[in-house]
Amino acid sequence: MEVQAKAKWVRTSPRKVRLVARTLRNLPVSEALVACSFMPKSAARDVAKVIRSAQANAENNFNLVKDDLVIKDIRVEPGPMLKRGQPRAMGRLFSIFKRTSHITAIVEDRPGVVKRRTAALPRAPQPTSRPAPTAAAAAAARAAAAVQPATTESDEPAAPARPKKAKAEGKAPASKAPAEGKKTEAKKTEAKKKDDGKKDTKEKKSK
């Protein structure tokens, strides 16, 4: 059975009302009212009023069950237009049209067709937990722990010694530097001795 309700001369443009009405067709009345309460459009409040009126008509006048009502259709027709004007430059008049609309909501009862939602959504599969150890397994683990001796520091394997790194190649010239210095000093001392010997021979000859 179809029941309808009308709202005339609603101060909202028909185009804006149709955007809301298009999303509510073939929905249960309860879900449509919830959807209207969360819509960010101002026309949703006017549509919700008409739906509530149709629901009340069906429940009070025709003794229909409220939970079985479904929105069959929502018709939006243009109403009379209020013409206003805004003065603009050079004495012109900019026309403003204040549109109105007539909203008609039609509901019908569909017993057994409306699907009831479950109380809670199905949960995601949880990871399987490890099985609890039995009494026999726990006793066997205790016996194995009692038989095995406790490890000490001497029982632990010693870590292998790290090989010493070879000296860097850049340090090699530095080690050769003192040896070269010693050689030059030795040459200087030998040259001094030769010079002293020559001086002695010269002195003897002069005498």
- Could you tell me if 97 and 180 lie in one domain? no
Collapse the DSSP code of 98 into the 3-class scheme (helix H, G, I; strand E, B; otherwise coil) and give the result: strand
Q: What is the CATH number of the domain that holds 101?
A: 3.90.470.10
In a domain, 165, yes or no: no
| Distance from the Cα of residue 128 to its chain's centroid | 26
Domain of residue 50, residue span:
2-109
Say how many domains are in the chain: 2
Q: Which residues of 89-114 are buried (b: 16+ CB within 10 A; e: fewer)?
A: eeeeeeeeeebbbbbbbbbbbeeeeb
Strand, helix or coil at 67? helix
DSSP one-letter code for 89: G
Task: Output DSSP code: residue 148.
Answer: S
Look at residue 117 and tell me if it is in a domain.
no
Q: Give, for all 207 residues of the chain, the pLDDT tens digit.
A: 999 999 999 999 999 999 999 999 999 999 999 999 999 999 999 999 999 999 999 999 999 998 899 999 999 999 999 999 999 999 999 999 999 999 999 999 988 776 655 555 566 676 666 666 677 777 888 888 777 655 555 555 566 667 666 555 555 455 555 555 666 777 777 777 766 666 666 565 565
Q: Output the pTM of the full model.
A: 0.55
